[in-house]
Amino acid sequence: MTGLTTGNQGVGARGEQLVAEQLTAQGWTILDRNWRCSIGEIDIIAEDPDGVVALIEVKSRTGLGYGAPLESITYAKERRLRQLAGVWLSSHAARRVRIDAVGVVLRRGYAPQVTHVRGIG
């Protein structure tokens, strides 16, 4: 992908695509993207090389003027992610599951900065 997509949705989609590509390159299997239910959405659901299913929240920004992307994940958002994990697990078989967060900074003229935090919730 070249260039930056404008608008919040475009930046989010670009960040999610970048994360999915990096995870795949690291040997992860993408199980689902933008999985939705009545209470919200999980950006990426992927299985890591160790067989752990990660439900991944991706936060993307075009700069740090409003803080680092992961700073926007509040306690309420973590609670919602745990609820979403419960709903997802009610219809999917997985023995080991965790919630991850990935922050992406996409600045024109710079390589993307990606921060992956495993097991946030």
List domains and CATH numbers for the chain: 8-117 (3.40.1350.10)
Q: Each residue of 66-112: pLDDT tens digit?
A: 999 999 999 999 999 999 999 999 999 888 999 999 999 999 999 99
Q: Each residue of 11-44: pLDDT tens digit?
A: 999 999 999 999 999 999 999 999 999 999 999 9
State residue 43 phi and psi, 5-degree precision: -65, -50
pTM, 2 dp: 0.89
Name the pLDDT band for 1 (thresholds 50, 70, 90).
Answer: very low
Q: Which of 90, 92, 86, 79 is nearest to 31 (CA)?
A: 92
Cα 81 to the center of its chain, rounded Å: 11
